Amino acid sequence: MTRSTDRIPVLIVAGFLGAGKTTFIRDLLPRLAGGPRAPYVILNDFLNAAVDAFTLKGLGAEIQGLPAGCVCCEDPGSLVDAILRVAVSTRPLIIIEANGTTDPYRLIETLTLTAAVREVVGSILQLTVVNESRWGKREHAADQHTERAQVRTASAILTNRGEFASDPQKQRLRDDLFELNPRAPRLDAEAFVDLLLREAAADTLPAPDTSDPIPHGHHHVAVHLEPPVMGEDRLRRWLLGLPRDILRVKGLARLSDTEMAYFSRTDDPFEEPRIIKTRAGAGMRPAAVFIGPGLRAEFLRASFHETPVPRPFKLTR
């Protein structure tokens, strides 16, 4: 049995598709370098965990991508296996990036009710990342329920992209956050990092509240395709031309024989596509993952070659 002083703290980073979870983790990892615990990141983001793992390489953490669509209900066993592979002797901090449609109640239950995990895991905290400009604007009621559930269970809340939110939108967010979860403070990234470095987060922040679970189901699909060679300008135009029915697209594109680029785009109309260029290396294969309701592969594939992007993309609303 693992001694309580040796148990591994777990940080769940939650938030709806495109909220900025991976960006937050990318900024967080260098700040934890040289701290009291070594970060170990477990990624679960539909088919694109490997793509996100690529963008986090070299930031001072061990990265494990999970191929499951959603660890909360489709393959919780892969998460359990990943946790049990972490060596307690390294004094790790496990950071779990859940995909944007994860039910936080089921995810936390996997950590707390699985006997083998209880033997090695200590404190569990959940940081929920919220896009201020998109709060309450999800098209599907199920997405709104999931986004609110991710706030309801949070130990702390980090909001971003407030520059794109109107004053009434910001007030609505403040009111909703207080109504849904008055226990969880809104923290900026610096304050949260300070708690982690001082190992004071578990003593300062409340544990996730799982007392009011909601029904959960997935209505999104993920489509995985290989994009053709595209220069940076064409890649950007393609991303900007995709319809907002696609909630998230990300991947790796080949720009030339020697250069590739990590790219991503959300359904947020205020957000520019993200393109990070890198030198092409062995084993790097182009890949694009699309997430949304009722996406059809044939139209997505045609979008690589046609301008404007072909419609319709969805079978149904």
Helix (H) or strand (E) holding 53: helix 49-56
Residue numbers of the domain that contains 282: 220-303
Q: Are residues 152 and 77 both part of a single domain?
A: yes
Mean pLDDT of 24-40: 90
Q: Is residue 112 part of a domain?
A: yes
Residues 278, 261 contacting (CB under 8 angstroms): yes
pTM of the predicted protein model: 0.81
Q: Are residues 160 and 281 both part of a single domain?
A: no
The structural domain count of the chain equals: 2
Q: Are residues 224 and 146 both part of a single domain?
A: no
Cα–Cα distance measured from residue 18 to residue 207, given in angstroms and rounded to the nearest whole number: 25
Q: Is residue 214 part of a domain?
A: no
Residues 9, 31 contacting (CB under 8 angstroms): no
Q: Is residue 235 part of a domain?
A: yes
Q: Is residue 167 part of a domain?
A: yes
Q: Are residues 29 and 90 both part of a single domain?
A: yes
Q: Is residue 309 part of a domain?
A: no
pLDDT tens, position by position, 131-190: 999 898 887 788 888 899 999 999 999 999 889 899 999 999 999 999 999 999 999 999
Cα–Cα distance measured from residue 20 to residue 100, given in angstroms and rounded to the nearest whole number: 10
Q: Which pLDDT score, from 0 to 100, does residue 5 have?
A: 62
Q: Is residue 148 part of a domain?
A: yes
